[in-house]
Amino acid sequence: MIQYFINHFQLRYRIYASYMAAGIVIFAIIMMTYVVFNKVAGHFQDFITFSNQSQIDLLLTAQVADIHRQTLIYTYEGHQSAADQVTSIYGNLIQQIDQNLQHSQPEIKRILTTIKQHLVNYHATFLQVKQQRDLQQKLINVEFRDNATAVERLINQLILQSDPSVATQLELKPILSSLLLVEKNVFRYLDSLDASYIITAKNSLSSVFGSLSAINVQENPVRSIVDQAIYKLHLYEQSFTQGVQRTRGYLYLINVVMAAEAYEIHYQSKKFSTLITEQMRKKEQAIHAGMREALYLLLLFGACLLMILITFTYGIGKSIAMPITQLTETFRELTQGSSNAHIPEYPVSDEISELAHAAAAFRDKNTQTERLLEESMQLTQQLEKNKAELERSNDELEQFVYTVSHDLKSPLVTSMGFIGIIRKLADQGQYEQAIEKLDKVTLSIERMGQLITDLLELSRIGRIDLDKKMIDLNNLLEQLTSSHSEQMRRVGFHWVIKPDLPSIYGNESRIRQLFENILSNAIKYTHNPEQGSKLEIGAISHEDHWLIYCQDNGPGIESAFHQKIFGLFYRLDTKQEGSGVGLAIAKKVMKFHGGDIWVESSSGAGATFWLKFPVPSEEMERVEHDTSSTGFITDRR
């Protein structure tokens, strides 16, 4: 994450992002708090709603009982105020239910709707009860009484108008009693609601019908009145029969239909109450649980957000601090002069990248300074080396001068001696002897000439014949073998050249001269009658050099002379011809070629001259190859 920030966002945006993240976290916590408390508030609101709805439950329970009580009062007592009360309570209940229906949950709404429907049915049935009762009251209190009065009046009229015979009077007077009994039983029925009174009344009425019909069987002047009485009697019967049916009708409606509706309202109300109680209990639990959950969530959410914020802020901070710390370390190294101080990669272009660029510039300066220092040191070393070389050259020059003076002086002294002798001999006239002595002088002069020639040769090394090229030693030594084969055959010398000698980079004439001097020395000084004199030349690779060894089986050289033999005019065996310059030349040639020469030997064990040549570089070989291919030899001076 940190690297991602570093690689993709500028410093200022990372700082902005950290502030924004903090702001977002704070906002998220506020929102979470709002949501949680809003939820809890919702639960509280629901709880209050349920509490309010429980009031409708209490209202229903109380008022439904009251409405049915008022209904019964109206039914049995006929009080209009009770009927009005029923309608009033009904209206109030419906209004309360309608208000609660608007805000209720589906289950509560369903129950309230059911209650309302039962209430509507109840009230509608009550209106029918009221109507039936009104009809019953009209039938009993008006029609029944009117018809009873009419029948009584007609019977009384019959009594007055009929013959005053005892028989007729006896038949008519009981009719009045029966009619009274009918009326009495009808009202007893209405009071007691015992149907047996109606049966008694019907029986009494039947006897009246029977009596009147019996009277009309006989021819009499009151037939029309009797007919009227029978007609009115039918109406009388019909009025109370209908009154009874209306009574039964409204009794059925109130005791069966309305009672069932009221019970269903009670039942649904109880169900409603149970539901409300249960929901309130659940809501209460939900509030408690919600509070716990809210606190838990807030803590959890807050902790999570805090963790995220810390992580994010840490990442941002780290993404800022890390490159600065790295750059600080870099600058610390740079101030200490480091030219290879690590500069952290910083792909985004911002203030830190400017620092990184500055560090890079600083490092470049340090690199330049270091290089200059190194060059300065190299120059100093070179100067020191040159100085040492100069001193050594001066020493060598002094030695050379001394040696040359000494060795050149010797023939001169010898010549001057012999010239003195010759002069004496000439003075003495001993000319022949003097002339003989001239040969000695000549020899000395020749020797001095040879010395001077050798010195000239020595001085040429490194001054002329400076061109170098790749030299295949196999070819060179093969040529050398050819040119010296006669001499070697003559002295019985064996020249053993190992195969696969290397190629070296050098001046061919000087290298040839080098091997000629070594061969010459070997021929001159190697005397091994037993094994036969021989010189073996081979090569071994050692690190970045070729070591060419030239091993003879001669008498060997004591270690005390291992250095001296490379000195100018130094000769171990003065009996042999030579100027003592060969190995000095060899030494100088090797030096000229960046190599060296030394001897390993002990007395009687032969000697091995080691020639150390640097391995030609690839560039030397490539240049040599190019030169060869173009037919050019490049002078490398």
Residues of this chain that bind another protein (CB under 8 A): 68, 121, 124-125, 127-128, 131-132, 193-196, 198-199, 202, 206, 237-238, 241-242, 244-249, 251-264, 266-267
Q: Are 218 and 117 in contact (CB under 8 A)?
A: no
> Considering the complex, what minimum distance in angstroms separates the CB of residue 79 from another protein?
19
Return the number of the residue (2 or 127) whose C-beta is nearest another protein.
127
* 464: helix, strand or coil: strand
Question: Which is closer to another protein, CB of 250 or CB of 505?
Answer: 250
Query: What does the alpha-carbon distance between residue 590 and residue 596 come to, in Å, rounded to a whole number?
Result: 5
Nearer to another protein among residue 264 and residue 465 (C-beta): 264
CB of 131 to another protein, least distance (A): 5
- Is the dihedral angle over the CA atoms 213, 245, 197, 70 positive or is it negative? negative
Tally the C-alpha atoms within 13 A of residue 585's C-alpha that lie toward its C-beta.
27
Give the DSSP letter of residue 527: -
Q: How far is the CB of 91 from another protein (least distance, A)?
A: 18
Residue closer to another protein, measured from CB, 196 or 335: 196
The torsion angle over the Cα atoms of residues 410, 411, 415 and 417, rounded to 10 degrees, is 20
Least distance in angstroms from the C-beta of 117 to another protein: 9
Cα–Cα dist 102/107, whole Å: 13
Smallest distance, Å, CB 63 to another protein?
15
351-427 vs 259-335: helix axis angle to the nearest 10? 20
User: What does the buried/exposed string (b/e) look like for 144-177 if buried means 16 or more CB atoms within 10 Å of the residue's CB?
Assistant: beebbebbbebbeebbeebeeeeebeebbeebee
- Please report where in the chains the tokens 């008694």 appear, as a residue: 200
Q: Cα(first)–Cα(last) distance of the chain, in Å?
A: 62
Closer CB to another protein, residue 121 or residue 450?
121
Whichever of 59 and 193 has its CB closer to another protein, that residue is: 193
Q: What SS3 state is found at 553?
A: coil
CB of 130: closest distance to another protein in angstroms?
A: 9
In the complex, least distance from residue 126 CB atom to another protein, rounded to whole angstroms: 9
For residue 193, what are the contacts with CB-CB under 8 A and spacing of at least 6? 247, 251
Which residue, 202 or 545, has its beta carbon nearer to another protein? 202
CB of 282 to another protein, least distance (A): 21
Using the minimum distance from each CB to another protein, give the nearer residue, 118 or 534: 118
| Closest separation in Å from C-beta 302 to another protein | 48
Pseudo-torsion of CA 522, 523, 525, 530, nearest 10°? Answer: 100
CA atoms of 339 and 169, how far apart (whole Å): 160
547: nearest Cα among 609, 487, 591: 609
Q: Which is nearer to another protein, 198 or 320 (CB)?
A: 198
Least separation in angstroms between residue 115's CB and another protein is 14
Q: In terms of DSSP H, where are the helices of 492-579?
A: 508-525
Query: Nearer to another protein by C-beta: 119 or 294?
Result: 119
CB of 88 vs another protein, minimal distance in Å: 20
What Cα–Cα distance (Å) separates residue 224 from each residue in 169, 219, 387, 459? 17, 11, 186, 198
Helix, strand, coil abundance in the chain, percent, nearest 5: 75, 5, 15
The DSSP 8-state label assigned to residue 561 in this structure reads G
Angle between helices 195-217 and 166-192 (to 10 degrees): 160
Which CB sits closer to another protein, 28 or 124? 124
Q: How far is the CB of 247 from another protein (least distance, A)?
A: 8
Distance in angstroms (rounded) separating the CA atoms of residues 349 and 8: 10
Q: How far apart are CA 483 and CA 504, in angstroms?
A: 21
Tell me the CA distances in angstroms from 452 to 75, 411, 445, 446, 634, one per residue in order: 173, 12, 10, 10, 32
For the CB of residue 206, give the shortest distance to another protein in the complex, in Å: 7
CA distance 135 to 518: 167
Q: Which residue has the tokens 């710390």?
A: 325
Nearer to another protein, 11 or 254 (CB): 254
Closest distance between another protein and the C-beta of residue 242, in Å? 5
CB-nearer residue toward another protein: 9 or 209: 209
For another protein, the closer CB: 124 or 497:
124
